[in-house]
Amino acid sequence: MKVGDGGVSSTVFTKEVSAGGFCAELMRVPSPGTQVRGSIVIGGNAYAFSGKIAWARAGEPRMNLRGSIGVTFSEIADGWKEKLT
């Protein structure tokens, strides 16, 4: 996933995915409202998306605890949209 205009990349671990967005865990949590883009790999296929962070909960990196974010989709790949509906 790439975060914001600077395009900083992060690997995230998705917990829930729906047609509206997804919840994920990561070490560095961006602020709500931040634009994101990337892809989610399902069954060996990568599906592109873009969206915005709706909510964020910080983790504790010193204790190796990931934070959580909720992303709402603004665009998702057509092939993926069909799988989610």
| Best CA proximity match to 55, nearest among 80, 12, 21 | 21
Q: Which amino acid is at 65?
A: L
Residue 41 has pLDDT above 70, yes or no: yes
Q: What is the pTM of this model?
A: 0.80
pLDDT mean over 62-79: 88
- Cα gap 68→27, rounded to integer Å: 8
> Where in the chain are the domains?
2-84
Query: Into which CATH architecture does domain 2-84 fall?
Result: Beta Barrel (2.40)
The structure tokens listed for 71 are 């992303």
- The whole-number pLDDT of residue 77 equals 80
